[in-house]
Structure 1
């Protein structure tokens, strides 16, 4: 029997994160989406309390933990932290990549700064002409002695304007096999030849965390900036894929829970035809369906974290969880908007922002179509 009950230590940890964020961001960070300013003070408070380093090794100032604890920490930060959740979700895969594949010099320079309240590294993989087709990337590098000269560009780079450096995937044009041609470089954003433009996002003219296009023109970096092993970039990307999926799934569940709670509370308060709308069966059906979907998503998250922590094969589970939760949170948000009705459409209700912002989860980090394309053959293989 698998018991997903959180331990007393885990409960205390989540309560500590919640209290920290409610103190520093009493409005849940909603004001940041109006001003376009990132709440650095709240992020620093998380770092000062040791929450930013969860899941990272002790030697870098982190606190090792199991995957369930990391998942619940990300869920809690996503529920109460507004834009700081983007930093934390980005740091889960990128900073662990640095700990696993980086040199001591790279770890000292970037990871310890992050644990102390600096921004995470951004990840430069998607390009204007290659999104889901990662192996088709055109950004390339050539060697000039011990200097790599990188040319190309990246697109949809999350936190590119806030990060101090970007993990850039570039290909060696001399290697024919595209999956063996990729190399990760850590490129400081102030390196000559790097230009970053902040892109507008659907529903926002400005936002507290950025999505950027990155131009790389004759960017010269030393061999010491390689992250891990040359030509092993694609394998390194896959190595910590589970952590990225944990961040994806727990983040959207947090959004679904917030929207559901707002809708349920409103259903008790809003009076029409002489009674609260929560007494009408059609509204009750929406409330029940939202609750079922959240329960299903939580069960998928628990199971995924448990299988990671017990070293089981999760290739199918990650695809199913990413696909189902990305779709289902959008269904929950749609029902929540329907319950909220006018106040969900007119004004500045957070569920309206969720409705716009969260649609990207079915594209970012692997589209629905790619999840199906990669997962279905693995399922069918079981029945050959």
Structure 2
């Protein structure tokens, strides 16, 4: 019998894991199913570009996984039963039927969505760019704005910086503002902070610092200090919340709903489940939790796929430390910032800025998309066969480490 591997979610982590498993394992031994609600790969790191009217290259999964042996199932995951080892899905086709898929190994990569943080009015009035549907809605709204109208970006993190500068560059006729809970770029090095301020000044972006937003209305946001900031459009970028399905299972999860995993991305409570990307709580250097990002989701996918393959084939289970090297920030199409960081993600003094940094960030984005379709780094040229042994009952079972 084939070992059934189901990967749920085809963002950066899920798609890379599925492709890498297909390269690692012999096709006769495994059945790999990738479940995703959309037929195309979404470059999440480019959603601010999509929102400002730029057209992104289509990346159909049917082409990316052609000839790999990965079966693509266009369906929405509605539940996971880790005791019965099943995934419940609703097909995205005309029929829309519900089905239970059985697995032997599950790779949970459902990722995250935007987080309104319970702020009154945010869910009703704010726009988000955590996914393609939200970015397209914002795109339509921005296109309908007249010159002089105000766009307020809430959140001073990486996504907020990228969204504010992208909108200001694409629509210089609009009045763009950003509200930050702390100071602008306060986690960056002095050189990085200075460059961000320089670009914001050049683009005419108004910054409201120490201004946590406590309410959102159709035409304004209100800060904790009582300041009312006019907003024809509010863009919400205050972080991400994981998909709620994991919390509804018997898996061990954190208070945030992330699945607790070991250093091979294996669930600490259910060894036939691996969690990667934003859905997982994995520890990095200094025993600090890895942040939600493409920078961590990709190596997490490599780690999980290699660990599954090793355990099935009797190989050595990998335990490669995950670490950071830099934070890549686009500041429009012509400016960027590459902030070099320590292994545990603390800013160093060194930073690359300007046009060269923008080109560097673009190469990183292209490389991430390329890596989804070509998950070959460190993978041997020939797939390995699953090692089978006999259980006491006499039935075949995959050897595990």
TM-score, normalisation: structure 1: 0.25
Name the structure where strand makes up a greater proportion of residues. Answer: 2
TM-score, normalisation: structure 2: 0.24
Name the structure where helix makes up a greater proportion of residues. Answer: 1
Higher relative contact order (CA 8 A, sep 6+): 2
